[in-house]
């Protein structure tokens, strides 16, 4: 997915306050599961949440992602953790965790409710019986403006990176067209990525949690205004 941008992902997302988000996550985890130590960060990206949860809050964090480039960055940042290359809707790891996270709307990349329910069932299999799941959803239908354009810039290896995002809507799929301009000492290059995320209502997500065997609660604001699901096994 981030085939063109893994190396400078952190530069593009430098506006994101990972330290503050990790503090919120740590507080939620301690309130929900006071003895929790181990965390699996699904769709961990470059490992920024993992890094802060380990360094500032004392958790043991492993990660999982579908993008090998992002995982290379994560392993460099957080060498004490284990990082797995896998699809979040179909993976088997050798241990269970006190907490499973799926943040920054990564669940939307599954596109369909069927795959979301399969992923949630997979998360449940990797939770300890008294563990907690935290999922940050993507946006619901009707919340994105067709044709909206946003721009982010950052610095990487002494150069400048700019990403222009154009939003397209195709029924229940949101399509994010990322156009990059990367300036380095060797010159300027351009690259494009197209990301597709499914648009689901809170009611549809609630049904997916129930179908996967969870009791789930929804905080409509969450970490950054997109909401946050907190769930436990219903068994």
pLDDT per position as a tens digit, 146-179: 989 999 999 988 899 999 999 999 999 999 999 9
Q: What is the pLDDT of residue 132?
A: 98
pLDDT digits (tens, 9 = 90+) for 24-62: 999 999 999 999 999 999 999 999 999 999 999 999 999
Q: What is the DSSP letter of 220?
A: S
On the question of pLDDT at 1 being above 90, the answer is no
What does the pLDDT read at residue 235?
A: 78
213-219 contacts at long range (C-beta below 8 A, 24 or more positions apart): 213/121, 213/124, 214/120, 214/124, 214/133
Angle between helices 48-55 and 18-32 (to 10 degrees): 60
pLDDT at residue 157, rounded to an integer: 86
Give the per-residue pLDDT at 185: 87
What tokens were used for 148? 């909206």
Q: Are 132 and 102 in contact (CB under 8 A)?
A: no
Tokens 């503050």 belong to residue: 20
* First and final C-alpha spacing in the chain: 35
Tell me: the pLDDT tens digits for 76-91?
Answer: 999 999 999 999 999 9
Up-side HSE of residue 100: CA atoms within 13 Å toward CB?
A: 29
d(CA 176, CA 188): 23
Enumerate residues 6+ apart whose C-beta is below 8 A from 34: none
Closest CA to 18 of 53, 43, 42, 59: 53
107-156 pLDDT, tens digit each = 999 999 999 999 999 999 999 999 999 999 999 999 999 989 999 999 98
Instruction: Report the distance separating Cα 37 and Cα 47, nearest Å.
Output: 17
Domains and their CATH numbers in the chain: 6-139+201-233 (3.40.50.150), 149-198 (2.20.130.10)
CA dihedral of residues 171, 227, 234, 89 (deg, nearest 10): 50
Whether the predicted pLDDT of 97 surpasses 90: yes
Q: ∠193-92-176 over CA atoms, to 5°? A: 15
Helix residue ranges, H only, the chain: 9-12, 18-32, 48-55, 68-77, 113-125, 202-211
Phi, psi of 33, rounded to the nearest 5 degrees: -150, 75
Give the full edge-to-edge strand order of the sheet including 187-198.
149-156, 159-170, 173-184, 187-198
């Amino acid at each position: 997915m981030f085939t063109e941008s893994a190396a400078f992902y952190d530069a593009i997302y430098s506006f994101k306050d990972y330290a503050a988000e990790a503090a919120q996550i740590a507080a939620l985890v301690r309130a929900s599961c006071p003895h929790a130590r181990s965390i699996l960060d699904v769709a961990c990206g470059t490992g920024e949440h993992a890094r802060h949860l380990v360094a500032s809050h004392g958790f043991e964090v492993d990660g999982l992602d579908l993008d090998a480039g992002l995982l290379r960055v994560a392993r460099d940042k957080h060498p004490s953790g284990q990082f797995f290359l896998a699809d979040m809707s179909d993976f088997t790891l050798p241990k269970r965790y006190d907490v499973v996270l799926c943040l920054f709307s990564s669940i939307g990349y599954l596109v369909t409710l069927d795959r979301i329910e399969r992923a949630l069932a997979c998360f449940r299999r990797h939770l300890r019986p008294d563990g907690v799941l935290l999922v940050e959803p993507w946006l619901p239908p009707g919340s994105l403006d067709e044709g909206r354009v946003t721009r982010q810039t950052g610095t990487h290896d002494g150069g400048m990176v700019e990403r222009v995002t154009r939003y397209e809507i195709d029924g229940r799929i949101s399509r994010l067209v990322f156009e990059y301009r990367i300036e380095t000492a060797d010159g300027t290059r351009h690259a494009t990525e197209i990301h597709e995320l499914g648009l689901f209502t809170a009611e549809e997500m609630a049904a997916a949690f129930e179908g996967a065997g969870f009791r789930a609660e929804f905080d409509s604001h969450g970490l950054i205004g997109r909401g946050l699901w907190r769930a436990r096994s219903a068994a």
